Structure 1
Amino acid sequence: MRIPVPVHRLPCPPAETRGLAASEVLERRARYGRNDVLARPRRSAWETLRDSATDPMLWFLVGTSALYLVLGELSEGMVLLAAIVPLLGMDAFLHHRTQASTEGLQSRLAARATVLRDGCELEVPAEDVVVGDLVRVEAGGHFPADGLVVRAEDAQAEESSLTGESLPVRKRPLEHLPPGAEPTVEGLHWGMAGTRLLTGKAWVRIVFTGKDTLYGSIVRSAEQGGHARTPLQEAVAHLVAVLVVVAAVLCAVLAFVRWRQGFGWMDALLSAATLGVAALPEEFPLALTFFLGAGVYRLARRQALVRRAVSVENIGRITCICSDKTGTLTEGRLRVARLVPAPEVEEEALLRTAVLASREEGRDPLDVALDAAARLPRHGSSVATFPFTEERQRETAVVDDGQGGLLAAVKGAPERVLSLCELSRDARAEWARQVSALAGEGRKVIACASQLLSSESWRGGEPQHGFQFMGLVACEDPVRPGVTEAVRECRDAGLRTVMVTGDHPETALAVARQLGLGGASPAVLTGDDLEVRLREDGAVPPVDVVARALPAQKYDLVRALRRQGEVVAATGDGVNDVPALQAADVGIAMGERGTRGAREASSIVLLDDDFGTLVRAIAEGRQLFRNLQRGFQYLLLIHIPLVVTAALLPLAGYPLLYLPIHIVWLELIIHPTAMLAFQEAARPGRLGPARKQGPARFFSAGEWATVALVGGLVTVGLVWSYDRSLGAGRDVEHGRAVALASLTLASAGYATVLTALRTRMARWVCILSLGISVALIQVRPLAALMGLHPLHVDDWARVVVGVAVALVPLVFSRWRGFSRLRGGPLGPKPGRSRPHRRMHQLRHGA
């Protein structure tokens, strides 16, 4: 990992180990702020309880218990008051789970730090550390902020919280900074907030504090992800508003009908209040916020930093990735693989020309590779430079040759450099053939040329002709480990991947073949060809690789793909990538080499710049949506029989099926089941299908039909069993026990079918909810407290059979969906996925 260093933040060169003066500390704290890595302080228990007090269930309990106490029903009133305790505890636990990322991250921060100020070492609170401080970290201590290691004694750090690297990382002191206003420095020279020094000592010059640290950005993402309103949250909020209005109308109607039926105003109020709490859909927005927060945290653990919560939704809907090649699909570390000098030109002269044409500051990977291969001192002072641009595709330097003359050196795209040289037609054709051959091996090829200039006749412009061709330099950038498997995973899941690069088409084609991109015959277009096709047809042609692409052409590609209905993710690292990042549904910036502009324009930052990380993040996004679907499906399935029976039976003149304490009992089952049982992480190698429907189509028509059918069957079973259990003696307590047994068993059955009990949490939730419910029904003192009569064996047999029959459509629906994912008898046949069959047809004219 390479991190940019704003040089203006350093009070002295790295080799100097002086501390700050007191006046400098005050000035730097005013300029850069305090070292508050956490976006906000840890919440107190009182604040958590205050937030929990907004739950309408609590006020329902307080109101109904007060009503019972006023009427002299002391036992019922006290039981309802006592039920507030577990409800508050559950809310506090779920709140803790939602904030688990922030709380866990906080535990890895330093509390105090040892700094050198005014020539003396002082121990200060970690939040008082400022940019420019020299901090000493001992073995076992945490780094208080992000800084450069300027001295080290056998220093090894544990960095798993940031990089995922489980092995210790040896830290080395930085002797001098590379040239430039914001040079990049390898991670082995950095001490990072949230990491711990395992052995030795380290002296660190602080560069970033508080929210500017990498750790601080992760904390803020984990906190903000659950609070920003997304389109799905807006849709759920609208649904909740509609349901609240409907519930209020039903409550008023029920209260009036019960009063007119002669049950009295007490019964009427209890009926309305019970129905209102049962019908209140507060679990939906709560579950959505909880799941989004968990998604942000999981993506951060996958090295994908979410900057906008909407990305947690969109990343699971991605159908096309426009990916850079260098540093994302490949390692981004060039090395010179082959030199092809022109006749009568030495390899050393070819390399020297390439080095002279390279920039001295702000070097790119190609310049670094050329320097490493040449291992020659740079002779001659620079007189003028003409930097590389996307339009010119070459770089020229005019240097003093040390003999009173000038030497112009140029390097760049072979076709551009060859056009500047005095060569015969046959020689140009031969060099073009060699360029194609080298590029066909997957190598980045540049051409070099030079010419002597007279200091008297040169007017200061860039020479446009008369160069002597020096030869070709071929560099290679190895494919990142694991990327080939990630590309194959995308292809198998029907996720289209387009590589966009500035490299030669042959180079890009060779890399695409290594990756398996586009199968055996990847479709390659140049950026210019793509621009022409978009202008003529308005549609994106079948393409796997866009070579020699300009930023504007990448932007046009992203927009065209979106017009065709694709949900597009685009990667980028430079300021010139900002338009494409903003145009994409999900803009993804590179965290290691990306510029600040690219990171700010993106919605997700990849901390390790790896394409495999992007694919794993997409898998997490898709799994998050599946989790949400199953959680919402569970909530609908359990609420349909609960609400319908709470309204229908009292309207029909039956005694109240549910008392307030029963609603509390059911809510204590529904809340943790919905929040915890469906928290399944993405499994490696299982990308899963894309979600193309928007918030308005959260479920397919078949899924809605299944929910209605299963909910209806459970409702019919509840009404029938309640009516049968009342019997001639109108044993209400026995009927309620049967109904509650059916609902709790149905809840566990729904969770079992929808989760397949793949997670430990799902298994524990189902076991505990069933165990506690059986105890409340069968243990006589507890049953009497709940207003129930214990059930007989034949009662339980009817409950089990009724719930099992109602679950059959849900089991069939889940099995059918699983079979489709696996390509079974009800799913697609093995072979090409639908998008790739269509791509094959387009390529071959079918």
Structure 2
Amino acid sequence: MSMRRIPKDRLADLGGDDVGLTNEMASARRARFGFNDIVAEAPSTWRTLLRNTARDPMLWFLLTLSLLFSVLGDYTEAAVLAVALAPMIGMDLFLHRRTQASTRSLSRRLAAQASVVRSGVSITIPAREVVPGDLIEVGAGAPFPADVLVLAGQEIQVDESSLTGEAWPVGKRPVEGPLQGLSSAEAAHWGFAGTQVLTGQARARVVNTGSDTLYGEIARSARLGGHVRTPLQHAIARLVGLLLAASLALCVALAAIRLLQGHGLLDAFLSAATLAIAAMPEEFPVVFTFFLGVGVYRIARRKALVRRAVAIENMGRITCICSDKTGTLTEGRLRLAHSCPASDLTAETLGVLAAAAARADSADPLDEALIAAAAGERFQRLATFPFTAARRRETAIVRGANGDCIAVVKGAPETVFDLCAGSEEQVDRLRKQVGLYAEGGHKVIAIATKTLDRRPDLASEPVDGFSPSGLLALEDPVREGVREAVMACRQAGIRVVMVTGDHPGTAKAIAREAGLGAARLNVVEADELDGKDEDAFAAAALDLDVMARAAPAQKLRLVQTLQRLGDVVAVTGDGVNDVPALQIADIGIAMGERGTESAREVAAVVLLDDNFRTIVEAIREGRQLFRNLQLSFIYLLMVHIPLVLSAAAIPLAGYPLLYLPVHIVWLELIIHPTAMLAFQEAPQAGQLLPTLRSGKARFFGPRSWLIIALSGAALAGVIFFGFDHALGGGVDVDHARAVALGALIAMSAAVAAVLSRLASLTSRIVVGGTIVSLILFVQTPVVAGLLALKPLHWMDWGMIVAAAGLTGVFAKLVVRSLDETSAAVRSGSDAEEATDPGGDGHGERSPEDHARDGSVDGSASCFGSQSAQ
């Protein structure tokens, strides 16, 4: 954004700088360029939203299952699935609706009216009627209605935080010479739509309107984002589809074979229907939805509001965080960090003098910080000669309590030093200190004073004879706990990249203090990457710690490149400039305290305290949630596979039906609560579970899948063997069913116990209830008779316990495969840390580090820290 091109046709055939356009010229230009509709809101109706939502096959799958269970008479399952439809439809509608909502919020920051000069007369018109070439006037507190070039004005300070994300006011200066023939201009001459004038009065020419403005480009990018199903939704859909196809095939095969075996039509239908109820994988989407709801609640307790529940899945898979600097890694406010007074002054006196040169009614964060930090005497202000970009200083004539008058100047050190005479030794000392402060990322200003008569000339600014009073170094301090949070990310395999519009020196100093980078810190200006092709840019992105001077398009390109490289990317932002990146990110995280409404609308997560540490806490919850979901799905698979295989294999082998409908109801009453409640473990304090650097959403690796499949087949074989052994020559069916059913239920309890580690009271209750129900229903003759079972003897129970033990071994093998993957990631992170023995991310301490803690040259008097509390 340092240079902006000026289209030749926008500034051709203009009126004079005082006359502006005529009404006829304005009408002709409006017909050519259109209205100044920077954010054109797309029409959206509920009918359109519902039609788009209806395209989600997951919803149709749930609806079909619900109807099927109703036909089969299982109204409880049908009701559960119908209830699960509601939140999924709601989330789907929100995904479609959020783009339109963010677009509306973008428009709220734009000017509603504009003051233009038409035929030499200043009039007020609706901002949408402004055309290229219009001569406009913008005063303090008003936004620019379009992208303009400043022609005249003094003391123009503009808040561009909505476009750049940086909190400091930006000075603007008029273009020198005629506009005709000018092909481009520096950012210092531009006023952009959506940015607000803080001080001064600007007269400017409109260049770009509507979608051609920088703000319009951002809004257009925000509209490109649409409804995309999340990776885990795809994974669940594939898993459910596979299980459903296999189940239906087994049902058809079972019904056909039972007919061929001569069991009759009713038996064939009952066999197929029972198997269908047992095999239908409806638990997977239901458990997924339930876990997302739990995640929303838990993350909200960490001061992060999740606006899209389905986004929680990506919280557990984040491999890279692209974080802005101001207000996220830092506190987002200027604070007086260091004072270096002249040899004859104290730090307190220097602070009072600086406050005397600051305006109490100013919106400038610098003035606010100086006034807040000052303590002691206050001066009466008599006259002010304000700061401008050309003067680079501000002078105030003030009167003290004793009636003496002095002139106090504050500003850029070199400018202030030029006003000082006869103080070469003092100035030289201060110049050296300026360099150290600047290297540390501080904003440095110099203060100088001059004694005046008791009745000074208030119309003339003193321009010589000043004496240096000292230096003040201000900073936007790193938030408490950020360094530890960054370290936790690195240990868990998550890269943190700072993306800021700030100067590389400032960004580097903040990045060092925040702990970014490992053995070295790689800081790159965004403009240096613009000329690179995709492969070169990708190579640079892999080695990047800080991108400085970044414009919205450059930030967006970085996020897209990281995603293409396989990263799951979280992006933090607060301004309109962040909307495109927030939109395209796997997880968009907006600031709740100072973020624009447009950023909050488009983001999936809103931080209630704007703190980077909260992001890490949310990731910790998300990763634990993903782990819990993995364990729940392992449980479902390790129980469902032997259930379905045994339910199909035994009748197919010519034996009587193994599971009757009442048995399936009992099993479902065990499986559903266990899957949803037994694996709700909270993350351990200070622990951030690692994850693979993979953009693909997969629940388990190939080894885990192999163990699950083999264990399911083996356990089905155990059930088959137990049923055959207990059948006793084919006459004791109830006894055989009790053994097989007892083995399956014991397996369920063993899997749940191993996977949950019985870490929570809920898991202990669920597993204990499963075992109690097994003993009670099987060993109580009356109840067993009602369930078509028989009480078991000690040999039967011995086989059941052995089956449970074997199941526990298989479950431990699956968990170990997950843990080994995590350990591989953690060991890689530990190896990276080993290259930085100091553990602070940057080895030797640099001059800027010393400047921060006041240890340079042992001159403690220059570094007494004063903070605005």
| TM-score of the alignment, normalized to the shorter chain, above 0.5 | yes
How has the CA–CA distance of structure 1 residues 373 and 436 changed in structure 2, closer, same or farther, with 3 Å as cutoff? same
1:350/1:448 contact within 8 Å kept: no
| 1:809 to partner: Cα distance | 3.3
1:640/1:715 contact within 8 Å kept: yes
> Any idea what the Cα deviations from partners look like across 1:80-104, whole Å, max 9, x if unmatched?
9xxx78x899999999999xxxxxx
Query: Which secondary structure state, in structure 1, belongs to the residue aligned with residue 595 of structure 2?
Result: coil
How has the CA–CA distance of structure 1 residues 492 and 830 changed in structure 2, closer, same or farther, with 3 Å as cutoff? closer
1:592/1:607 contact within 8 Å kept: yes
Distance in 2 between residues matched to 1:623 and 1:836, nearest whole Å: 29
Query: Which secondary structure state, in structure 2, belongs to the residue aligned with residue 327 of structure 1?
Result: helix
Q: Which amino acid aligns with 1:680?
A: E
- In the alignment, is residue 249 of structure 1 matched against residue 249 of structure 2? yes
Query: Which secondary structure state, in structure 2, belongs to the residue aligned with residue 631 of structure 1?
Result: helix
| 1:291 match | 291
Distance in 1 between residues matched to 2:801 and 2:828, nearest whole Å: 37
> Any idea what the Cα deviations from partners look like across 1:135-183, whole Å, max 9, x if unmatched?
xxxxxxxxxxxxxxxxxxxxxxxxxxxxxxxxxxxxxxxxxxxxx9x9x
| 2:721 match | 720
**For structure 1, which segment, 252-261 or 350-359, has the greater mean C-alpha deviation from structure 2 after superposition?**
350-359
How has the CA–CA distance of structure 1 residues 692 and 399 changed in structure 2, closer, same or farther, with 3 Å as cutoff? same
How has the CA–CA distance of structure 1 residues 339 and 252 changed in structure 2, closer, same or farther, with 3 Å as cutoff? same
| 1:706 match | 707
| 2:679 match | 678
How has the CA–CA distance of structure 1 residues 690 and 360 changed in structure 2, closer, same or farther, with 3 Å as cutoff? farther
Distance in 2 between residues matched to 1:599 and 1:618, nearest whole Å: 19
> Any idea what the Cα deviations from partners look like across 1:267-289, whole Å, max 9, x if unmatched?
11110110110111110110111
Distance in 2 between residues matched to 1:425 and 1:665, nearest whole Å: 92
Within 5 A, what are the aligned runs for 1:571-586? Answer: 571-586=572-587
| 1:263 match | 263
| 1:586 to partner: Cα distance | 2.0
| 1:486 match | 485
| 1:159 match | none
- In the alignment, is residue 651 of structure 1 matched against residue 652 of structure 2? yes
Q: Which amino acid aligns with 2:483?
A: T
Query: Which secondary structure state, in structure 2, belongs to the residue aligned with residue 336 of structure 1?
Result: strand
How has the CA–CA distance of structure 1 residues 440 and 819 changed in structure 2, closer, same or farther, with 3 Å as cutoff? same
| 1:730 to partner: Cα distance | 2.4
Query: Which secondary structure state, in structure 2, belongs to the residue aligned with residue 790 of structure 1?
Result: coil
How has the CA–CA distance of structure 1 residues 234 and 496 changed in structure 2, closer, same or farther, with 3 Å as cutoff? closer
How has the CA–CA distance of structure 1 residues 573 and 57 changed in structure 2, closer, same or farther, with 3 Å as cutoff? closer
Q: Which amino acid aligns with 1:577?
A: D
How has the CA–CA distance of structure 1 residues 755 and 647 changed in structure 2, closer, same or farther, with 3 Å as cutoff? same
- In the alignment, is residue 437 of structure 1 matched against residue 445 of structure 2? no
Give the unaligned 5+ runs of structure 1.
Answer: 1-52, 65-79, 99-179, 183-226, 459-466
> Any idea what the Cα deviations from partners look like across 1:263-312, whole Å, max 9, x if unmatched?
12221111011011011111011011111111111111110111223421
Distance in 2 between residues matched to 1:551 and 1:448, nearest whole Å: 36
1:60/1:273 contact within 8 Å kept: no
Q: Which amino acid aligns with 1:487?
A: V
Query: Which secondary structure state, in structure 2, belongs to the residue aligned with residue 832 of structure 1?
Result: helix
How has the CA–CA distance of structure 1 residues 568 and 693 changed in structure 2, closer, same or farther, with 3 Å as cutoff? closer
> Any idea what the Cα deviations from partners look like across 1:322-358, whole Å, max 9, x if unmatched?
3334433344454323344689999878876777676
| 1:807 to partner: Cα distance | 3.4
Distance in 1 between residues matched to 2:443 and 2:326, nearest whole Å: 10
| 1:628 to partner: Cα distance | 1.1
- In the alignment, is residue 316 of structure 1 matched against residue 316 of structure 2? yes
| 1:765 match | 766
Q: Which amino acid aligns with 1:618?
A: I
How has the CA–CA distance of structure 1 residues 564 and 92 changed in structure 2, closer, same or farther, with 3 Å as cutoff? closer
How has the CA–CA distance of structure 1 residues 833 and 641 changed in structure 2, closer, same or farther, with 3 Å as cutoff? farther
Q: Which amino acid aligns with 1:683?
A: Q
1:527/1:549 contact within 8 Å kept: yes
| 1:329 match | 329
Within 5 A, what are the aligned runs for 1:483-562? Answer: 483-501=482-500, 508-519=507-518, 521-526=520-525, 537-538=536-537, 539-540=540-541, 542-546=543-547, 554-562=555-563
How has the CA–CA distance of structure 1 residues 253 and 437 changed in structure 2, closer, same or farther, with 3 Å as cutoff? same
Within 5 A, what are the aligned runs for 1:370-519? Answer: 370-374=370-374, 376=378, 379=381, 411=411, 433-439=432-438, 443-446=442-445, 472-501=471-500, 508-519=507-518
| 1:61 to partner: Cα distance | 8.5
Query: Which secondary structure state, in structure 2, belongs to the residue aligned with residue 763 of structure 1?
Result: helix
Query: Which secondary structure state, in structure 2, belongs to the residue aligned with residue 715 of structure 1?
Result: helix
How has the CA–CA distance of structure 1 residues 371 and 763 changed in structure 2, closer, same or farther, with 3 Å as cutoff? same
2:707/2:813 contact within 8 Å kept: no
Q: Which amino acid aligns with 2:261?
A: Q
2:321/2:569 contact within 8 Å kept: yes
Q: Which amino acid aligns with 1:576?
A: N
Query: Which secondary structure state, in structure 1, belongs to the residue aligned with residue 496 of structure 2?
Result: strand
1:757/1:763 contact within 8 Å kept: yes
How has the CA–CA distance of structure 1 residues 280 and 357 changed in structure 2, closer, same or farther, with 3 Å as cutoff? same
2:334/2:476 contact within 8 Å kept: yes
| 1:59 to partner: Cα distance | 7.3
- In the alignment, is residue 832 of structure 1 matched against residue 831 of structure 2? yes
Within 5 A, what are the aligned runs for 1:125-144? Answer: none
| 1:763 to partner: Cα distance | 1.2
| 1:760 to partner: Cα distance | 1.5
> Any idea what the Cα deviations from partners look like across 1:433-467, whole Å, max 9, x if unmatched?
42332245664434679999x99999xxxxxxxx9
2:520/2:842 contact within 8 Å kept: no
The root-mean-square deviation of aligned C-alpha atoms, in Å, is 5.0
How has the CA–CA distance of structure 1 residues 345 and 559 changed in structure 2, closer, same or farther, with 3 Å as cutoff? farther
2:566/2:695 contact within 8 Å kept: no
| 1:641 match | 642
Query: Which secondary structure state, in structure 2, belongs to the residue aligned with residue 697 of structure 1?
Result: coil
Distance in 2 between residues matched to 1:670 and 1:726, nearest whole Å: 26
How has the CA–CA distance of structure 1 residues 507 and 674 changed in structure 2, closer, same or farther, with 3 Å as cutoff? same
TM-score, length basis structure 1 = 0.63
| 2:747 match | 746
| 1:273 match | 273
How has the CA–CA distance of structure 1 residues 601 and 367 changed in structure 2, closer, same or farther, with 3 Å as cutoff? farther
2:703/2:817 contact within 8 Å kept: no
Distance in 1 between residues matched to 2:655 and 2:833, nearest whole Å: 55
Q: Percent identity?
A: 48
Greater RCO (CA < 8 Å, at least 6 residues apart): 2
Q: Say how many residue pairs are matched.
A: 628
2:689/2:822 contact within 8 Å kept: yes
| 1:810 to partner: Cα distance | 2.8
> Any idea what the Cα deviations from partners look like across 1:700-748, whole Å, max 9, x if unmatched?
0001001011111101101111111112252110110011111101111
Distance in 1 between residues matched to 2:835 and 2:567, nearest whole Å: 14
How has the CA–CA distance of structure 1 residues 697 and 729 changed in structure 2, closer, same or farther, with 3 Å as cutoff? closer
Distance in 1 between residues matched to 2:502 and 2:321, nearest whole Å: 18
How has the CA–CA distance of structure 1 residues 799 and 693 changed in structure 2, closer, same or farther, with 3 Å as cutoff? farther
TM-score, length basis structure 2 = 0.62
| 2:569 match | 568
1:235/1:695 contact within 8 Å kept: no
1:251/1:276 contact within 8 Å kept: yes
Query: Which secondary structure state, in structure 2, belongs to the residue aligned with residue 682 of structure 1?
Result: coil
Distance in 2 between residues matched to 1:432 and 1:549, nearest whole Å: 30
| 1:571 to partner: Cα distance | 2.1
Distance in 1 between residues matched to 2:325 and 2:367, nearest whole Å: 18
Distance in 2 between residues matched to 1:808 and 1:618, nearest whole Å: 31
How has the CA–CA distance of structure 1 residues 257 and 580 changed in structure 2, closer, same or farther, with 3 Å as cutoff? closer
| 2:785 match | 784
How has the CA–CA distance of structure 1 residues 360 and 576 changed in structure 2, closer, same or farther, with 3 Å as cutoff? farther
How has the CA–CA distance of structure 1 residues 550 and 769 changed in structure 2, closer, same or farther, with 3 Å as cutoff? same
2:678/2:766 contact within 8 Å kept: yes
How has the CA–CA distance of structure 1 residues 428 and 646 changed in structure 2, closer, same or farther, with 3 Å as cutoff? farther
Q: Which amino acid aligns with 2:275?
A: L
Distance in 1 between residues matched to 2:814 and 2:702, nearest whole Å: 12
Give the unaligned 5+ runs of structure 2.
Answer: 1-61, 89-158, 162-226, 400-406, 844-869
| 1:307 match | 307
| 1:516 to partner: Cα distance | 3.7
Distance in 2 between residues matched to 1:263 and 1:633, nearest whole Å: 36
